[in-house]
Structure 1
Amino acid sequence: MAVVVRKGGIMETHAGFEVEHRRFLLYPTFLHQNPVEVRGEFRGLLRADPAPGVLVLPALAEVVAVYRVESLERAVQLEPFQVLTAEAIERRFAYRNRPWVHAVLVRVSPLVPPLVLEETPEMLGCVSWVPLPGGVLSGVGGQVRPEGELLALREELDGLLR
């Protein structure tokens, strides 16, 4: 999948989630996994934290487009483009009585090898952005989705969301 639907963590400002960085590492989380919120074909990917205290960062994401979606009808139409169910999108849309979500289209490239760090207290909490020590990026492999497919997906999202 190349689209991430975000509302924001409970520790974020009143304005909620904003895209603070154009490039970021994908941070795996095991705390908030809820199989009911994940579309059936992706539920098998959910798993328990294999190594508590160790953080394995698998990939680099680069922002291609950001959409602030303020229509519930359009928000639930994002279901086929990402892993959440329409019901989960609807719950996030209405969370904190602020009717909107962000849809972030990302170009994803695996880290080769994945970056492995010791998890620190500063990395924990319900936030969208976690600062990491500088100079930790390992090698980056080729992008997961071909560029032509990614650009076609952007055009489709532009038509749906703008």
Structure 2
Amino acid sequence: MTLHALKEWSVVIDALATAKTIMLLRKGGIKEQNGKFEVTQTEVLLYPTYEHQQASLLKPDYAKLVQSVISGWHPETVKIHSWAKITHIIPVSDAGMVEKLQPYHIWGANFVCDRLKWKPHQPLYILLLKVYNLPKIHEIPYLTQYGGCKSWIDLESEIYLENSVAVLPESRYGELVAEILDTIK
């Protein structure tokens, strides 16, 4: 069972849950604890959010999947369908290195460069995630404490991870991790 969740755009979580990517690029939200992005737990539920989700910041194939919502909108219930083990946390400050990673994530090049430049004294973090789909979708009520520009939340609802299914076989996940690590050498 776990309660700790990583908030991410809904379209990104869907890409993770369907093995389109294993990578997240994070600097953190405005309201991060201690003012910077930190990973405190490596097994996390993936909490889909629509806050700040913008089609123009994604590669074209993913941009068309974005559900447009008005600012501040959130669903009455949130569907949690996957979780992840964060296997690698790699800080990156070099724009050239980030550019080499373009084939491995779903964001547009301009967005990635802008994220790197935002808070330039802090690195951009590459997170590699081994993602698992839960045996059933858990629909939980949206609570106001889940909102806001922050990466991590603790859910009120318990969600059990037993009988989850990895979206990628261990061997394929290992191959992708090796490619990514080789790319950033």
Please list every run of 5 or more consecutive structure 2 residues that lacks an aligned counterpart in the other structure.
1-20
1:158 aligns with 2:181: yes
Q: How far apart in 1 are the matches of 2:78 and 2:104?
A: 27
In structure 1, which of residues 23, 34, 40 is the aligned counterpart of residue 43 of structure 2? Answer: 23
In structure 2, which of residues 61, 75, 91 is the aligned counterpart of residue 68 of structure 1? Answer: 91
Q: How far apart in 1 are the matches of 2:88 and 2:105?
A: 14
Q: 2:137 aligns to what?
A: 114
1:77 aligns with 2:100: yes
Q: 2:66 aligns to what?
A: 46
Please list every run of 5 or more consecutive structure 1 residues that lacks an aligned counterpart in the other structure.
none
Deviations 1:61-117 (A, max 9, x none): 111211111211111222211111111110111112335211111011111211111
Letter in 1 for 2:93: E
Contact 1:8–1:128 (8 Å) recurs in 2 = yes
Deviations 1:92-146 (A, max 9, x none): 1111233521111101111121111101111111100011126333654311122
Q: How far apart in 2 are the matches of 1:138 and 1:14?
A: 29
1:89 aligns with 2:125: no
Contact 2:135–2:165 (8 Å) recurs in 1 = no
Where has structure 1 moved over 6 Å in runs of 4 or more?
Answer: none
Q: How far apart in 2 are the matches of 1:159 and 1:119?
A: 40
The alignment's C-alpha RMSD in Å is 2.0
Q: How far apart in 1 are the matches of 2:161 and 2:132?
A: 12
Contact 1:23–1:61 (8 Å) recurs in 2 = yes
Q: How far apart in 1 are the matches of 2:147 and 2:35?
A: 21
Q: 1:131 aligns to what?
A: 154
1:146 aligns with 2:176: no
How far the C-alpha of 1:13 sits from its partner, in A, is 4.2
1:103 aligns with 2:126: yes
Query: Normalization by structure 1: what TM-score?
Result: 0.90
Query: Normalization by structure 2: what TM-score?
Result: 0.80
Tell me which moved more, 139-148 or 149-158: 139-148
Three-state SS of the structure 1 residue aligned to 2:50 is coil
Tell me which moved more, 80-89 or 5-14: 5-14
